[in-house]
Amino acid sequence: MTPATSAVSAPAEAPRAVGFGEAVLFWLKLGFISFGGPAGQIAIMHQELVERRRWLSERRFLHALNYCMVLPGPEAQQLATYIGWLMHRTWGGVVAGALFVLPSLLILITLSWIYIAFGDVPLVAGLFYGIKPAVTAIVLQAAHRIGSRALRNKALWAVAGAAFVAIFALQVPFPAIVLGAALVGYVGGRVAPACFVTGGGHRPAEGDFGRALIDDDTPTPAHARFRWPRLAAVLACGAVLWVVPMGLLVAGLGWDHTLTQMGWFFTKAALLTFGGAYAVLPYVYQGAVGHYGWLAPTQMIDGLALGETTPGPLIMVVAFVGFVGGYLKTLFGPESLFLAGAVAACLVTWFTFLPSFLFILAGGPLVESTHGELRLTAPLTAITAAVVGVVLNLALFFGYHVLWPAGWGGSFDAVAALIALGAAVALLRFRRGVIEVIATCAGVGLVLSLLR
C-alpha cells in the first residue's frame, strides 16, 4: 500500500478498544512468525499494528522504536514489550516480550537436542557442512549492513578500524572495546559533534494510515506517566528477580558451577548488545568457547545457523550455547543429558532477557513524558562504528574454521569456499533472504554428502 493510497482509504475513526486476550493472541502469533532479523520483525509489527490493526500511530511507533534502538538488547523484542506495556500496563509488556521469545526458545531447545544427539549422523552432518559456509557469508553481510548505515565519515571509519585491530591483533576483550568506543564518542561529540551524529536504524517509511487507538494526540495513559515510587518499585522488583535465582545458584551449587557462571556471564552479555546480536557474538565466543569451554568453535557456527532459521531475536543463539554447554558438561549426570541442556538453555535465556524488560518498564514512562524525536548519542554512534570492526573479525574467525577445519596445518576446503562465495553473492549481490540461502546451502551440503 502506498502512502497516497492509504491516505485516501484510511478510516476516519479510531478502531475499537483492544482487549487483553486479543492482544495476547496477537503476541503469540508474532512469536511464531517473527523471522527476518530485527528489520523484518519491526516491519511485521509496523504492518500489523500501525497499518492494518491501527493500535498505535506512526509517530508513537517510531518514538518507541527510537528509544529501543538506544538500549542494549534486541530492539524488536523490546519494541513488542514497550507496545504491550503501553496498551495493557505491566502485564501487557511482560506477556508481549515473553511471547516474542518463548516460541524461539522451545524450537531451539528441540533443534539443539537433535543437533547434539544426532549431529554425527551423515544426513545431519551433510546439512551442516553446507550451512557453515553460509553462516560465514551471513556474518559478512551483517558487517556490510551495519557499516553501510553507521560509517558515514572518516572518523567513524577510524573507530571501526581501531576496533578491528584491537580484537583481531591485540585480543582486547569486547567490553573494553565498547567502553573505549563510548569514550571516543563522548569526547568526539564535544570536539567534533558533526562527525558523531548519524542516522540509522530499521525505520519503516512514514505514511498516513488513519486514526489509531493510541494516536499522536492520545493522552499518555495513567500507568505510563512517570512517578518516582513506580520507578523504585520496578527497579526493586528487577533486583529481586536477578538476585534470588543467582543467590540460589550460588548457595546450592557454588560460584564456580557451570550454571552459576552461565547466569553471571550472560547477565554481562545482555548489557553489551549494542548494535544487535552480531555485535555481542564475539564476546559470547570469547567466554563460552575460549574461557569456559562450553562448546567448540564449529558448534558456535552451527548454533548461529540454527538461530538464523528460527523465529525470534537472533540473540536467542544463547539458548543453543546454554543447551550444548549443559548437555556436554553432564550437569545432572549421564542419565539426564536433555534435562541438563534444557535447564541451562532456560537459565541463560532468563538472565539474557531480564535486563530488556527492566529497561522498558523502568524507562518507558520517561520516554512517554515527551513525544519529541530521540537521537542516538555520540557515544552510541561510536559504539555502533566499533561494532562493524568487531563483526568483521567474527566473519574472519568463522571463515578460518570453515575453510581450514584442521587449522593452518591442514588442507584448504575449496568446496566450502565455493559454497561461502555463492552464499555471499546471493546475499550481497542478489539480496536473497537469509533463510533461503541457508536452506539452499544445506541442500548442497546434503547432496555432496550423498555423493561421497
Digit-coded pLDDT (tens) for 136-187: 888 888 788 778 877 888 999 999 999 999 988 888 877 788 889 889 988 8
Q: Are residues 111 and 191 in the same domain?
A: yes
Cα dihedral 10, 13, 15, 16, rounded to 10, equals -160
Q: Are residues 142 and 198 in the same domain?
A: yes
Under 8 Å CB-to-CB from 28, ≥6 apart: which residues?
99, 103
Q: Are residues 149 and 286 in the same domain?
A: yes
Q: Which of 34, 64, 96 is the last residue of a domain?
A: 96
Q: What percent of the chain has pLDDT over 90?
A: 45
CA gap 352, 292 in Å, rounded? 17
- Is 392 part of a structural domain of the chain? yes
Q: How many domains does the chain have?
A: 2
Q: What percent of the chain has pLDDT over 70?
A: 89
Q: Which of 49, 71, 96 is the last residue of a domain?
A: 96
Q: Is 398 helix (H, G, I), strand (E, B) or coil?
A: helix
Decide if 243 contacts 258 (C-beta within 8 A). Answer: no
Domain range for 302 is 105-204+273-352+372-451
Q: Which of 30, 65, 96 is the last residue of a domain?
A: 96
Q: Are residues 139 and 168 in the same domain?
A: yes
pLDDT higher at 2 or 379? 379
pLDDT in the model for residue 141: 83
Taking only the tens place, the pLDDT of each residue in 311-322 is 888 889 999 999
Q: What angle do CA 269, 275, 279 make, to 5 degrees?
A: 55
- pLDDT at residue 8 greater than cutoff 70: no
- Is 406 part of a structural domain of the chain? yes
pLDDT in the model for residue 160: 93
CA gap 122, 124 in Å, rounded? 6
Q: Are residues 85 and 129 in the same domain?
A: no
- Is 294 part of a structural domain of the chain? yes
pLDDT in the model for residue 346: 98
Residue/partner pairs of 372-375 with CB below 8 Å, 24 or more apart: 373/63, 373/66, 374/63, 374/66, 374/67, 374/70, 375/66, 375/197
- Is 234 part of a structural domain of the chain? no
pTM of the shown model: 0.78
- CA gyration radius for the chain? 22
C-alpha cell at 105: 526458545
Q: Are residues 173 and 89 in the same domain?
A: no
Residue 203: pLDDT band with limits 50, 70, 90: low
Q: Is 233 helix (H, G, I), strand (E, B) or coil?
A: helix
- Is 57 part of a structural domain of the chain? yes
